[in-house]
Amino acid sequence: MQDEQGGRSRGRPRGTSARALEVIALDLYSTVGFEETTVEDIAAAGGVSRRTFFRYFDSKAAVLWNEFDNEVAALREAFDDVADNVPMMEAIRHVVVLVNRYTADDMPELRTRMHLIGSVPALQASAAPHYDAWERAVSDFAAIRTGQLADTLIPLAIGRTTLAACRAAYEQWIVIDGSDLTDHLDAALRALASGFA
Amino acid sequence: MQDEQGGRSRGRPRGTSARALEVIALDLYSTVGFEETTVEDIAAAGGVSRRTFFRYFDSKAAVLWNEFDNEVAALREAFDDVADNVPMMEAIRHVVVLVNRYTADDMPELRTRMHLIGSVPALQASAAPHYDAWERAVSDFAAIRTGQLADTLIPLAIGRTTLAACRAAYEQWIVIDGSDLTDHLDAALRALASGFA
DNA sequence: ACAATTATGGCACGCCGTGACGAATTGTAG
DNA sequence: CTACAATTCGTCACGGCGTGCCATAATTGT
């Protein structure tokens, strides 16, 4: 979003980028601690003022959710490309696993980010709106397949439970060192589709 | 907890009770609005100081979760009373529906509370630790039935997805006027146990 | 009376998030 | 070259939350 310099030529140049602040904040959160880090600290390390930080991010916690929000868009696109003959729960599983394929370079950052989200109460609290958007992407797909509206019981439940299963998978991935994320996701979603029988 | 006057005889008597502050706060949140209400307002309406409010509740949002936390204890007790021959997912469904049987008198307050939790972002954010405790109660039961540890993938997923389904049911109950809460819960948990097939 | 106990009130502080306003830095038109 | 428009930044101020700290009030037991 910020990268596109098409049209934006005039005006004072940015002192930094959202991505740069994100890296700095992620480092401080994981080394110093989230509560122990003030927004002033992040801004100073980024060479900008505290007020400018809040122009790049809505809150101290919002830094962690940039990549996650991107995944929601990827999720919707992947759902659009699913063939109609694939069963619903199977399609959901394939799409989720596909979207969660990260390169080896992104793994360390993903790991620290998920570890923070899973361990810091203030960050867990900030998850709600982002989780909602993710669930909604699944619910919309389930609505099409079931022929019901997205805000009715079954599509809603499918969206919510799918994320719930994925969160359990992510939690296992963080705890069990050296394990494969997609394996956990696949196992959790298979269990969900089988009704945990 | 506060009611037991066993041993606590000496000392200055309390100026109010947690329950009284809860009723006042619930009223202000639903009429004036959560963001528009300050802790100072609640304290003043309760005849105490702002500082005293924070001795009764950890945060402005914690007021809403008192009853919910009680349900977690009821959940655990109900799981202990389940017969061993009842299938796991069926047992979970029965227990959840049983615990969510409220009297007609409690319905209005439950409704306003759940409506607030479902509509105010700051309250959704405050849900995480309470949801975790609820999920954990289910995971512990699933751990016994599956013979696995409670913090492994399947029990974790069962706890998380069960709450996710219940949240979808609650949301429907709030939206659809005059509907029965236990019906939604039963339907959502049956769908979960069937793998949404 | 006096001590012990328990709850309260007031004060101060750090931090978060937001609004307002002027200054800084660039490109563009005249 | 100069005036102007556009965009970002920094500073200041404010309200609100949550938390120590300590003095004070209210009650019971000795």
What residue of A is the nearest CA neighbor of B159?
A164
Which pLDDT score is estimated for B9? 74
A51 CB-side CA count, 13 A: 0
Q: Which residue has the higher pLDDT, A188 or B9?
A: A188
Which pLDDT score is estimated for B5? 42
3-state secondary structure chain A: CCCCCCCCCCCCCCCCCHHHHHHHHHHHHHHCCCCCCCHHHHHHHHCCCHHHHHHHCCCCCHHHHHHHHHHHHHHHHHHHCCCCCCCHHHHHHHHHHHHCCCCCCCHHHHHHHHHHHHHCHHHHHCCHHHHHHHHHHHHHHHHHHHCCCCCCHHHHHHHHHHHHHHHHHHHHHHHCCCCCHHHHHHHHHHHHHCCCC
Which pLDDT score is estimated for B6? 47
- Inter-chain contacts counted by CB atoms under 8 A, chains A and B: 113
- Contact yes or no for B169 and A163 at CB 8 A: no
Q: Which residues, other chains included, contact A87 with Cβ-Cβ below 8 Å and sequence gap of 6+?
A: none
Nearest-CB residue to B191 (from A151, A157, A194):
A157
| DSSP per-residue codes, B32-58 | T-TTT--HHHHHHHHTS-HHHHHHH-S
Which pLDDT score is estimated for B2? 35
Query: Is residue A118 a contact partner of residue A171, using CB atoms and an 8 Å limit?
Result: yes
Residues of chain A with pLDDT under 70: 1-8
Find where tokens 């570890």 sit.
A115
Tokens of A93: 């599983």
Q: Provide the whole-model pTM.
A: 0.94
- Contact yes or no for A196 and B157 at CB 8 A: yes
* Model pLDDT for residues B154-169, shown as the tens digit of each residue: 999 999 999 999 999 9
Find where tokens 């702002």 sit.
B50
* Residues of chain B neighbouring A197 (CB-CB closer than 8 A): 89, 193, 195
- Contact yes or no for A192 and B161 at CB 8 A: yes
* Cα gap B5→A180, rounded to integer Å: 54
Give the mean pLDDT of B149-156. 98
Quote the minimal CA–CA distance from A23 to chain B in Å. Answer: 24
- Contact yes or no for A160 and B175 at CB 8 A: no
Give the mean pLDDT of B74-92. 98
* Model pLDDT for residues B51-66, shown as the tens digit of each residue: 999 999 999 999 999 9
Which pLDDT score is estimated for A1? 36
C-alpha torsion sign, points B8, B9, B10, B16: positive
If you average pLDDT over every residue of chain B, what do you get? 95
Instruction: Give pairs for B147-151: CB < 8 Å, separation 24+.
Output: B151/A175
Which pLDDT score is estimated for B8? 63
Which pLDDT score is estimated for A86? 98
Quote the minimal CA–CA distance from A18 to chain B in Å. Answer: 24
* Model pLDDT for residues A47-104, shown as the tens digit of each residue: 999 999 999 999 999 999 999 999 999 999 999 999 999 999 999 999 999 999 999 9
